[in-house]
Amino acid sequence: MNPENTNTLPIGTVLCNGDRKYRIVKVLGQGGFGITYLAIGEVVVDNVVAEGKFAIKEHFPSAYCERKGAEVTASEDNRSNYESSKHDFVAEARKLHVFGTKNENIVKVNEVFEENGTAYYVMQYINGESLLSYVRNHGKLSYNEAMKILLPIINAVGFLHKSRINHLDIKPDNIMLHDSLEGTVPVLVDFGLSIHFKKNGDKTSPKNVLGVSEGYSPLEQYAGISEFLPAADIYSLVATLLYAMTGTTPKSATELKVSDVRNAFKDRLPDNIIDGICKALNKSYEDRTPSIEVLKADLGLAGPGTATRVIDLDHDKRESKGKKGDGNKKIMLIAGAGAVIGLIIAAVFIFKPSPSEVLADRGETGIIPDTVAAIQPTDTVKSVSKANSLVEENKETPVQESEKAIRPSAESGTETATVSGKSTGAVKDNTVDSEPVPTKPKKTEEVTNGTLSLGYGTWVGGIRNGKPDGKGKLTFTSRHKVDRSSSEEANPGDYFVATYDAGSLISGKLYDSNGNVLKTITP
């Protein structure tokens, strides 16, 4: 047995699945529901037999079972729970096998089998460190650096959400930086808490696991997730961004305040990006960012981020010190499927790689909405200078705060996003009925998005006929009634996120200058 933990398999144990054999080398990690090992197995490439490294996860819910030698047993009292947990474990492996083949940023699973009274699945060995370890070793990251790692993960979570899967354990420790033959790829791991929901809302398996990660789990997860809730994973993603940029684990969801978040990013990010971060960390999931698409818009990530790009995480730090440095470590972010992740994994999965488009990052500091936009694909590796010119030719104009209005609806939680004057969300079109006349009908102005000075404050959002119309934000510059239909007064710095119909209030929420909700107001 391993002297440090009698619950783990002895080093040197051989696991068999038919003709395939895996020898346990070391313990990589252990949680309440399973144990992950590093194992050596044989792989065949044409006529060459070689040893390859694999990660093997063992189903071992310690609350329900114990180990006797290599065998895992459960008492009669716990048998039902143990078998149900094993069923979920096997279902998790099968889902990962499918999703991993379609998205390069989700951990790959090769096979699942039963032995020793329990179940095992064999997966990609991550040859690298976690985001948690990376930040500890390199220090807090800039927004550019953090997004170069997190954007592919954000896209991978969006991919999962399209299949109605909640990961429910996104955190720096579960984002690995895998060093493959093609570069370093961010990979989302540990689906032990994930839940798959049917279209009717039911779970696809009877999983009733309740687990949280302090600082990264949203408030509703403490009571258990009973419905498909993209906002839960969105909270965890942005809490992970908070860690990456501060180097500190965020406060738990019960303690984290909007003012804490604003202070952490003050003078580091534009106000519109900070607003997007705060919305994603809202305590109430009903007022939180509802989808990955809206999150990307709120964070200024205009493009889909599916292009393969060579980037250098250490560039900003070297530039700030005025030196180039040697042996630059380049990281390739791959947000789409089809690229080779390594000879061993390719041999096991028998996948054929598709041509990768490789673009060199310009190493810009600051916000990166223009550098994550989709780039025209190429079939060959471009030189750094050629790639830079391609980025320059294809970059989009950065979203300006005055051009972008993305605000929560007090009624439905839907969003209106306007980027560079083009609406990407739903603006309520309340046209004014014209009086019937024998000639052509009376023409009314269309709803546009912009800025309107009201004397006591400034409205940014939908405007028609010189009045607020649709969704937007009213920031007060002097003490004044929030709306003529209400006696509630706002102080300078307070803001009102609301929906109007031709100047008439439909509903809205008043916030103080720190972003705390003061009151919901309806006529």
First CA to last CA distance, the chain: 70
Taking alpha carbons only, the member of 37, 78, 85 closest to residue 210 is 85
Residue 11 CB neighbour total at 10 angstroms? 14
pLDDT of residue 368: 39
Q: Which residue has the higher pLDDT, 315 or 111?
A: 111
pLDDT band at 275 (very low <50, low <70, confident <90, very high): very high
CA distance 321 to 359: 25
Other Cβ atoms within 10 Å of 128 Cβ, number:
17
Residues 229 and 287 in one domain: yes
**Full-model pTM:** 0.58
The reply to whether 1 falls in a domain is no
Which distant-in-sequence residues (6+ apart) come within 8 Å of 78 by Cβ? Answer: 63, 64, 65
pLDDT at 461: 87
* Enclosing H/E stretch for 102: helix 76-102
In a domain, 466, yes or no: yes
Are 161 and 223 contained in the same domain?
yes
Q: Collapse the DSSP code of 339 into the 3-class scheme (helix H, G, I; strand E, B; otherwise coil) and give the result.
A: coil
Choose between 505 and 303: higher pLDDT.
505
Say if 488 falls within a structural domain. yes
List the beta bridge partners of residue 37. Answer: 27, 56
CA angle 390, 396, 402 (to 5 degrees): 160
Report whether 355 contacts 341 (CB < 8 A): no
Say what the pLDDT of residue 5 is.
54
Q: Is the separation of the CB atoms in 22 and 83 below 8 Å? A: no
165 within domain boundaries: yes
pLDDT of residue 307: 35
| Residue 112 and residue 149 share a domain | no
418-428: average pLDDT? 35
Q: How far apart are CA 335 and CA 204, in angstroms?
A: 27
Residues 104 and 153 in one domain: no
Q: For residue 5, tell me if it sits in a domain.
A: no
Task: Examine the pLDDT at 366 and tell me if it is beyond 60.
Answer: no
Lowest-confidence range among 14-18, 164-168, 421-425, 453-457?
421-425
How many residues make up the chain in this entry?
523
Residue 371 maps to which CATH number?
Answer: 1.10.510.10
> Region 417-434: what's the mean pLDDT?
35
Q: Tell me if residue 1 falls in helix, strand or coil.
A: coil
Q: Please tell me which of 85-99, 121-135, 176-190 the model is most confident about, judged by mean pLDDT.
A: 121-135
In a domain, 4, yes or no: no
pLDDT digits (tens, 9 = 90+) for 44-53: 777 888 889 9
pLDDT at 263: 92
Q: What is the mean pLDDT of residues 176-195?
A: 87
Q: How far apart are CA 301 and CA 125, in angstroms?
A: 30
In a domain, 3, yes or no: no
Dist CA 5 CA 381 (whole Å): 48
Regarding whether 132 and 118 lie in a shared domain, the answer is no
Average pLDDT for 493-522: 85
List Cβ neighbours of 366 (8 Å cut-off, separation of 6 or more).
142, 143, 144
At which of 68, 96, 124 does a domain end?
124
Instruction: State residue 310's pLDDT score.
Output: 34
Diameter of the chain by CA atoms? 94
At residue 151, the pLDDT reads 96
- The structural domain count of the chain equals 3
Could you tell me where the beta strands, DSSP code E, fall in 227-360? 309-311, 331-333, 359-360
> Looking at residue 116, which CATH number applies to its domain?
3.30.200.20
Q: Identify the pLDDT of residue 302.
A: 61
Spatial CB neighbours of 345, under 8 Å, sequence gap ≥ 6? 108, 124, 180
Same domain assignment for residues 63 and 193: no
**Where does a domain end: 124, 156, 173?**
124
Same structural domain, 418 and 380: no
* pLDDT grade for 464, boundaries at 50, 70 and 90: confident
| Residue where a domain terminates, one of 394, 426, 457 | 394
Indicate whether 466 pLDDT > 60: yes
**Whole-number pLDDT of residue 31:** 78
The rounded distance, in Å, linking the Cα atoms of 115 and 20 is: 13
CA distance 270 to 175: 26
Same domain assignment for residues 259 and 359: yes
Nearest to 158 by CA among 25, 306, 286: 306
Buried-state track 369-385, b at ≥16 Cβ within 10 A, e below 16: bbbbbebeebeeebeee
Same domain, 515 and 422: yes
Angstrom CA distances, 179 to 145, 182, 184, 284, 347, stand at: 17, 8, 4, 38, 17
Structural domain boundaries, residue 473: 401-434+445-521
What is the spatial order of strands in the sheet that 109-115 belongs to? 14-17, 20-30, 34-45, 48-59, 118-124, 109-115
Residue 378: pLDDT above 80?
no
420 vs 148: which has the higher pLDDT = 148
Residue type, 512: D
Q: Say if 440 falls within a structural domain.
A: no
Contact 144, 195 (CB under 8 A): no
Cα separation of 351 and 339, whole Å? 9
The residues facing 460 across adjacent strands are: 451, 473
Q: Tell whether the model's pLDDT for residue 38 goes beyond 90.
A: yes
Q: Are residues 289 and 390 in the same domain?
A: yes
> Does residue 210 sit in the same domain as residue 348?
yes
Question: How far is 462 from 469, CA to CA, in rounded Å?
Answer: 5
Tens of pLDDT, residue by residue over 437-457, are 344 444 456 778 888 888 899
Count of helix runs (H) and strand runs (E) in the chain: 10, 26
**Rounded (5°) CA angle 32-75-93:** 45
Same domain, 254 and 281: yes
